[in-house]
Structure 1
Amino acid sequence: MAVSKTIFGEIDSEPVYLYKISNKNQTSISVLSYAATWQNFEVIEDGKKHSLIEHFDNLDDYIKTPYQVGKTIGRVAGRIKDASFQINGVDYQMEQNEGENLLHGGSHGLQYQNFESKKVAENAVLLSHTVHGEDGFLGTLKVNVEYILNDDNEVSIIYSAETDHDTLFNPTCHVYFDVDDENIRQQKLQINANSFLKVDDGKIPTGDFLATDGPYDFKKAKTIGQGLDELALLNKYEYDDAFVVDNRAATIKSDKRAVDLYTDRNGMVIFTADPKDTEKTEKHEYSSLAMEMQTLPDAVHHLGFGDIVLGKGQKVVYTNKYKYRRFE
């Protein structure tokens, strides 16, 4: 195992570092201090390199992209209705950065911060950031994001946080998968989900669960293209949906390789896009699939969605895992 560190660029007169962790199989992940971004997931098969996730090779694209490619999203991923919530009888009003709602924690969320960073083991990097009352959230929140790669080709992302004021915490990695050098439509997706969330026109959960039927049924693996074709029959042309998942959340695969996804939370949002070509996305031509494991969106407003409240003096830890497999 080995960890290298280089300078990737600069933001606000601060260096942005890239850490590359490599294992005995020559599998590697690259991580940026900016937004605690998962920059690359690269494998070598028969002497050839294959990147399994969408990524940019320069910092400017990461700063400019509206697609949050590979970034740590938070302190709360997804939307919060009316940008408001209540904890222990106290009402909180956040920044409204998407219509009347709060999206991805606000315009000063973790996805816009340059984290402190350091190697903590021969196969692990720790990124840390402290936020103080941004976007309406009160108090000080200390956040750690640790990336680990083992010799079984498994990536772990461990999120931990502690606070001195009641708040919310539900981060994710906004990683986009493309596990083969082909159109994402040909890749197969399997999701261990019997239900997904019903949302309104603003993509806010209504509180209802829908059965994973038709285009939303990935209990048995099928191509993403088949799902999109089934969606089109409903006059829908993209996925932007939150599935209720168990520990082994999903698998995305080609005929050559797969990535299995695991989480200790109950939700996974999938989102089709081409982060490098907005015009293609608008034409419903997709290069990759975002797979964001988290507690279900807007959980603070719905019983049964999970608990994202982090109380004063408390600490919480979440783990997402991604395992690469090759088919011989």
Structure 2
Amino acid sequence: MGVSKTIFGEIDSEPVYLYKITNKNQTSISIMSYAATWQNFEVVEDGKKHSLIEHFDNLEDYIKTPYQVGKTIGRVAGRIKDATFKINDASYQMEQNEGENFLHGGSHGLQYQNFSSRQISNKAVMFSHTVRGEDGFPGKLEVNVIYMLTDDDEVYVTYGANTDHDTLFNPTCHVYFDVDDENISQQQLQINSDKFLEVDDGKIPTGQYLPTEGPYDFKQFKTIGKGLDQLSLLDKHEYDDTFVVDGHAATIKSDKRAVDLYTDRNGMVIFTANPEDAQKAAKYDYSCLAMELQTLPDAIHHPGFGDIVLSKDKKVAYTNKYKYRKLD
């Protein structure tokens, strides 16, 4: 029980620290200072360890992967249309790092930063970083990310921030779940949602909602593979979609174990991927499912999507919760 700290590697001549929090059940989470990354989520069942999330065992793979595995994404997750926005009639132009649009906080986003870090209790670690107007955002933004593991096998991830200028803040954890050794297609997914976002060809929300029907209907448990089969009938082969959620957002499970996801915001992006094997990914053979809890993407352009404006000298905190359950 408690927290251990080791050096995981080095970036820009700075050490990258890896913390491991272990509870009384021998459940553990590992998180590292680079990108405040959730590196592992491991449980012990009948004396055997099982990892519940996609992870790498070396820093180099985290740096080079385009999949942002386990990283803190921000200051704004998702896409911003045309890489522009307004706050109080002031216009801001960011870099266009995905076509004409802006993706995941830009090329200097939180996912590329080595955070300062410290243990704050025997079950929690805090990561801190300050960004100063990179990629076109206004203002200095001080960000804290706290990971906590309870003895009830609950992982809390809390994102806090304050700023000296009105700006945007909508971070997420780009965690990929794989709760069993079987192919992800055999795992079951439930999403407590009756609508998801319509997007254009650039994956930018149109502002319209679509009903969760057919391949998008996960109101009852359904294997991810069945959903992908239904998608293929629409000539689509991957999930990269945003569901409108509230509270208990979703559950992913195998025959042996489940993880329940909770959020105090209104969106969850799911994304099928295979970060470790590009050839399999090209054949739509997926190893994991990203489940990203956040405010709905491009909310700055859609008033009904939620408020991601962080006002000067105000503080905000968002919390996502992930609960592991062993199934009988």
| Both proteins in one fold, TM over 0.5 | yes
CA distance in 2, matches of 1:241, 1:274: 17
Structure 1, unpaired ranges of 5+: none
User: Could you tell me which residue of structure 2 aligns to residue 251 of structure 1?
Assistant: 251
SS state at 2:304 partner: coil
User: Could you tell me which residue of structure 1 aligns to residue 281 of structure 2?
Assistant: 281
CA distance in 1, matches of 2:269, 2:126: 25
Q: After alignment, is 308-317 or 106-115 more displaced?
A: 308-317
CA distance in 1, matches of 2:113, 2:228: 35
SS state at 1:146 partner: strand
CA distance in 2, matches of 1:311, 1:279: 45
CA distance in 1, matches of 2:262, 2:319: 8
- 1:30-49 alignment, distance < 5 Å: 30-49=30-49
CA distance in 2, matches of 1:282, 1:311: 43
- 1:45-124 alignment, distance < 5 Å: 45-124=45-124
TM-aligned CA deviation for residue 204 of structure 1: 0.3
Query: Is 1:240 aligned to 2:240, yes or no?
Result: yes
TM-aligned CA deviation for residue 146 of structure 1: 0.1
User: Could you tell me which residue of structure 2 aligns to residue 298 of structure 1?
Assistant: 298
Query: Which amino acid in the other structure matches residue 149 of structure 2?
Result: L
Query: Which amino acid in the other structure matches residue 97 of structure 2?
Result: N
SS state at 2:39 partner: strand
User: Could you tell me which residue of structure 1 aligns to residue 219 of structure 2?
Assistant: 219
TM-aligned CA deviation for residue 293 of structure 1: 0.2
Query: Which amino acid in the other structure matches residue 95 of structure 2?
Result: E
CA deviations 1:36-75 (Å, max 9, x no partner) are 0000000000010000000000000000000000000000
CA distance in 2, matches of 1:139, 1:175: 28
Query: Is 1:319 aligned to 2:319, yes or no?
Result: yes
TM-aligned CA deviation for residue 2 of structure 1: 0.5
Query: Which amino acid in the other structure matches residue 306 of structure 2?
Result: G
SS state at 1:35 partner: coil
Query: Which amino acid in the other structure matches residue 296 of structure 1?
Result: L
CA distance in 2, matches of 1:277, 1:109: 25
The TM-score with structure 1 as length reference comes to 1.00
Query: Which amino acid in the other structure matches residue 265 of structure 1?
Result: R
| Matched positions, count | 328
User: Could you tell me which residue of structure 1 aligns to residue 21 of structure 2?
Assistant: 21
Query: Which amino acid in the other structure matches residue 193 of structure 1?
Result: S
TM-aligned CA deviation for residue 245 of structure 1: 0.3
CA distance in 1, matches of 2:82, 2:234: 28
Structure 2, unpaired ranges of 5+: none
Query: Is 1:183 aligned to 2:177, yes or no?
Result: no
CA distance in 2, matches of 1:315, 1:2: 29
- 1:143-222 alignment, distance < 5 Å: 143-222=143-222
CA distance in 2, matches of 1:310, 1:143: 12
CA deviations 1:239-294 (Å, max 9, x no partner) are 00000001000000000000000000000000000011122111111000000000
CA RMSD between the two structures:
0.5
User: Could you tell me which residue of structure 2 aligns to residue 131 of structure 1?
Assistant: 131
User: Could you tell me which residue of structure 2 aligns to residue 309 of structure 1?
Assistant: 309
SS state at 1:304 partner: helix
CA distance in 2, matches of 1:282, 1:204: 23
Runs ≥4 residues deviating over 6 A: none
The percent identity for this pair of structures is 78
Query: Which amino acid in the other structure matches residue 206 of structure 2?
Result: T
CA distance in 1, matches of 2:248, 2:41: 20
